[in-house]
Structures are given as structure tokens and as C-alpha cells.
Amino acid sequence: MEQEELIEKLKKRMKKWRILASVFLLLLIAAVAAGVFIWERNRKPKEEPEEPAPTRMFLIASAEERVAAFNNEYKHCTAKLETILGWQYIVFEYSTGMKIGARNEYPIVEGTTDQADTGEKIFASVLSDGKTSRECRNDVTIRNIFDVAAKAPISFNGVEYLIFANDDRSYGFINLQTMEEAVSVDFEKVVAQYFELKDIGSDHVQLKAGSAEFTFHSTTHDVAFSGFQINYDSEAEYYRISSPVCLGQGEYIGYIDGVIVPSGERFAFIEPRFGAYVGFEYEDPESTKIIEPSAEPIENPVVLSATGTGRYYLPRYQNVSNHEYNWDNLLIRDDGFRELRDDEGNVISRMGIDISHHNNSHGDIDWKQVKAAGIDFAIIRLGYRGIGEGTLEPDKFAEQNVKGAAEAGLDIGVYFYTQAITEEEAIAEADYLIEKVKQYGTEIKLPLVIDTELYETKKTARGNLISRAQRTKCLKAFCERVEQAGYTPMVYASTRWSIMNYDRDELSKYPFWFAFYGEKVSYRFDFCIWQYTSEGKVPGITGDVDLDIMLMEPKME
């Protein structure tokens, strides 16, 4: 019995020790696992601490290179980097000492205030004259600062200005001496202020543009522009504007051009010239001077001066071609004579004079001296029609001049000063020349000319009072009669007279003798002979004489 109890006790103890051994083994395994984990963790390399995030950024990272490149290319201002209130700016300094700059450096950390330590506001763009600084009111940013600075300042009345052209077609400027600015100025509004419109009843409006006044058939009282053009003239250093002008939809009335310049804190419109789309009969004695607006702008018009500062804009001829003379090859000699040369320097023109009894009033003409002076041809007046009763009158020195010029070896043409108001009178003037030429028995190599012009000293002269259409009929009748007689007819007139007072399209087959006193010819249409002065000096003639240059032989087309 005792033996069995002893065995039972031993079994209980063994079971207890097995439990203790199992617990110990589990604890040992856990301890080993923990040690392995710690060892694995400790054997990895230690990571470096992260860099703090940047707090500032540069919009142009290569600012130094951009500044250096700008200074190599441009000399009207100097680019540099400057620190203003702790932030980097790209700055351009001008000869006046004025600086304009745009901020290049900005904070990027959330919550950072964009102010200096003193509490001052930091501007995106800045103007400075070295004493004071302020924000630029024009749209100058780091995005466009180099483009703004690349354009050289313009000079007006001794003051330099920096001009801005904005994306919305508005303009601004900075006075580089006083820091005055104009901002977002609409040039169309500036130009519109030049016009004054007044309703005068009966569907008519009176327009005043400077000292020019015109009346239009319209009920619209507002000026508008179509195709407004703004061009910068780099040589003259100003902006020239130009545009067709409208009174309403499809009511084109003319054309405006002029110059825009800075003035104080605004822009001013100077040297304005408005031209109205007038008809060819606008200056006729019976004209009402009321202009019908055009349905569209006149392309490439003929331009004439009008009363005051105004102009006339007229359609071009349909049948008269443009000349091709190269006025760069025109030589004005020391003696006052003119020569046209070709590109190789060869003279391709002939020198001439035109003569009437006025040139004989100071003594007889020595035609041999005239010829020796280089004069090749003479166009001599044979007669004229009176400005009152309209009688035909001879030039009292006509025959003497024709024979003297012929004996000296000059080529001769003849002319008649017209005051014809009917076709019958014009034919009579042609017959007069034809009969006199036959009577003199002298070879006439050059045309028989009708001289048509304004009689300036008496506005009521009979030839002044007919219409453009009637004058055209008279001139055509004269030319046709001369042509029928076997001679070449020609018309003499000035720029204005040949456009406003007769129709060259109706006479396009006949050569034209052009009167214009000046050096630069703007007249674009064909002419054979150019009378360029009434104050010429020619050996053999006492006093002033008309000088002419023949550019091509006068022939009918």
C-alpha cells in the first residue's frame, strides 16, 4: 500500500515538472525570438535626417544668365539683380537714373506672410528714382519685364518715355524723369475726342475735325473706326495711327491719321489729318457740299488737301496708268535745271521752257543764248480767251517767239489758255492754234496744248464757273479737233485741277503736261512733261521763266 502511494506521488511530481519545463521552454523561445528581432533591427544602417523644405522660390532660375545676355545685346539701359526688402528683383536702370524692376523671388511655405520685417508691402513691380520707390501701375511682371525693357525709350519734347502695349490693345507709358504714368489707355477713345458731331436737321450731320468741316447725309451722331491701325515709327520714335472712319454700320465717311504722344499722365493726339470721302464733283460751283457716306472704304485713294487741316479722299482713275519714274535719279543742278537719269547715270530727260508775252515784257528773248544754255524745247503761247466776254485774243509776241525758237534750233510746241465754257468754244480754240501754226509755216514737233487752270485773281472768271463734267467735254472737244487736224493734242493742268476739275479718265489717250512746283512728286499718274517752277533763270531771257523737263516723248495712246 505504501509502495503504491509512493509511486502515485512520484507521478504527480513528474507531471508538475513537465508543466514547468514546458513553460520554461516557451519562455526561452520567446526570449530568443526577441533577441533575434532586436539584432536584425540594430544591424540596418542608420538613415540621415531629412533636409528642411525650401521656403523661397525664383520664377526665373537663370536670372544671372538672362541679365548678362540682356546687357550684351542692349545698351539703352542696364539690367541687374537687386535685393529689395529682402527679396530678389530683376531691375533695369535708365540713363535718367530711373529704375523699373520686377520681383523674381517669392515665398512657398504655407502660412508665410509676404511682407518685409518692417511691415512694408512688397510689390510685384517697382519704380524708383533713387530717392523714392512705389509700385508700378502698368502691367509689368517678371513674365514680361525683359520684353518691356528691350524696347528703347522714345523721346518727346526732351523727355524720355517707356511705352507699353498691352494684350488688350490698350497702351501705357512711364515718364522716365518724373515717374508719371498713363495706364491702359484706349487709343481709339483718344482719337474719337478729335471729332465733333452736330445734328443740323434734315438727316444731316456736321462733322468738325480740327479746322476741317464736312457735312454728311446721315442720322448717326457717333464716330466709330474700322480697321484701326497702330504702327510704331522707330526712326521718328512715335506711334502713328490710321483708320477708316464711320458714322454707323456701313457709313464710311473718310480716313484719319495722326501721331499719339505722351502728355502729362495721358496720351495726346497730335498732327491729326482727317480726309473725307468726297465725290469728284465736290468743288463744282453748283455742289451742295453734302457728302453721301460710302458703303465701304476707298482702297488706295487719291489724296488732296482740303480747307484747313482736312483732306479729300477720292477713288483712283480707271483708265490712267501710273508712271514709273524713279525720282531717286532726279538731279537738281546748281543752275536750277533738272535732269532725270537712268540707273547707269545717263540723262534720259530733256530741258525746256514755256513762254508767253510776259517773258518779252522786259526785252526781246535771245533764243541763241537760250539754246546754248542747254534748253532743247519751248512751248509757246499763241493766244488766250478773255475771262469776261470770252473773246479770242492773240499773244502779241507769239509769232516772234515761234520763229526765234525755230531759228535757234529748239523743238516747238504751242498752247492756248482756255476759258471755254462750251464745246463749240473749245473747238474754236483748237481751230485758232491750227490756223496760226499753218500761218507761221514753222514745223511744230511737239503737241498743241490746251492750258486749263483756275483763274486765281478773279473767282468769277467764266472758266471757273463751269462744272467738272462740262469742262471735261470742252477739253475732249479741243483734243479731238486737234487730232483730226493731224497734230498731237495735250492737256496742261496742276495736280488738284486735273483731279477735281476734269476727268482724266475721259482723256486718257492724250498726253499730259503736269504742273507741280516742288522737289518731291507724289502724283502717281502718267505725265510726259513736268513744269517744276515759274521762277527759273535762263540766259537770254530777262526775269523769271517757267522751266520744264520732258520725261518721255508726248504721244497719243
Amino acid at position 163, single letter: I
The three-class DSSP label of residue 217 is strand
Half-sphere exposure of residue 242, counting CA atoms within 13 Å on the CB side? Answer: 7
Residue 32 counted as domain residue: no
Could you give the CA distance from residue 294 to residue 276 in angstroms, rounded to a whole number? 10
pLDDT of residue 467: 96
- What string of DSSP letters covers 469-535? HHHHHHHHHHHHHHHHTTS-EEEEEEHHHHHHSS-GGGGTTS-EEEE--SSS----B--SEEEEEEE
Where would I find the H helices in 95-216? 145-150, 187-192
Q: Are residues 388 and 244 in the same domain?
A: no
Residue-range definition of the domain harbouring residue 148: 58-181
Q: Are residues 238 and 154 in the same domain?
A: no
Could you give the CA distance from residue 146 to residue 148 in angstroms, rounded to a whole number? 5
Q: Which of 285, 314, 343 is the last residue of a domain?
A: 314
As to burial, measured by CB atoms within 10 angstroms (0-12 exposed, 13-18 middle, 19+ buried), residue 398 is: buried
Residue 381 counted as domain residue: yes
Q: How far is CA 23 from the centre of its chain?
A: 106
Q: Are residues 106 and 203 in the same domain?
A: no
Q: Are residues 514 and 441 in the same domain?
A: yes
Where would I find the H helices in 262-374? 367-372
Q: How far is CA 17 from the centre of its chain?
A: 116
- Residue 314 near residue 278 (C-beta atoms within 8 A): yes
Q: Are residues 68 and 153 in the same domain?
A: yes
Segment 491-494 long-range contacts (CB within 8 Å, at least 24 positions apart) = 491/449, 491/450, 491/452, 492/415, 492/449, 492/450, 492/451, 492/452, 492/453, 492/531, 493/452, 493/453, 494/453
pTM: 0.76
Q: Are residues 359 and 284 in the same domain?
A: no
Taking residue 100's Cβ as centre, other Cβ atoms within 10 Å add up to: 25
Q: Which residues pair with 494 in a beta bridge?
A: 515
Q: Are residues 357 and 208 in the same domain?
A: no
- Residue 210 near residue 310 (C-beta atoms within 8 A): yes
Q: Are residues 278 and 365 in the same domain?
A: no
Tens of pLDDT along the chain (557 residues)?
455 665 566 556 666 656 555 655 665 565 555 555 555 556 555 555 666 656 788 999 999 999 999 999 999 999 999 999 889 999 999 999 999 999 999 888 665 555 555 556 788 899 999 888 899 888 888 988 999 899 888 888 888 888 887 777 788 889 998 888 888 888 889 999 999 999 998 899 999 998 899 999 998 888 999 888 888 777 777 788 999 999 977 899 999 999 988 887 888 888 899 999 999 999 999 999 999 999 999 988 999 998 777 899 999 999 999 999 999 999 999 999 999 999 999 999 999 999 999 999 989 999 999 999 999 999 999 999 999 999 999 999 999 999 999 999 999 999 999 999 999 999 999 999 999 999 999 999 999 999 999 999 999 999 999 999 999 999 999 999 999 999 999 999 999 999 999 999 999 999 999 999 998 899 999 999 999 999 999 999 999 999 999 999 999 88
User: H or E element: which one contains 428?
Assistant: helix 423-440
Q: Which of 272, 288, 314 is the last residue of a domain?
A: 314
Could you give the CA distance from residue 192 to residue 333 in angstroms, rounded to a whole number? 47
Which residues lie below 8 Å from residue 126, measured CB to CB, with a gap of 6+?
Answer: 84, 89, 99, 100, 101, 102, 103, 133, 134, 135, 136
The three-class DSSP label of residue 145 is helix
- The CATH code of the domain that includes 362 is 3.20.20.80
Q: Are residues 371 and 501 in the same domain?
A: yes
Residue 19 counted as domain residue: no
Distances 206 to 193, 195, 196, 307 between C-alpha atoms, Å: 15, 10, 8, 15
Residue 7 counted as domain residue: no
Q: Are residues 361 and 491 in the same domain?
A: yes
As to burial, measured by CB atoms within 10 angstroms (0-12 exposed, 13-18 middle, 19+ buried), residue 376 is: middle
DSSP state of 51: P
- Domains identified in the chain, total number: 3
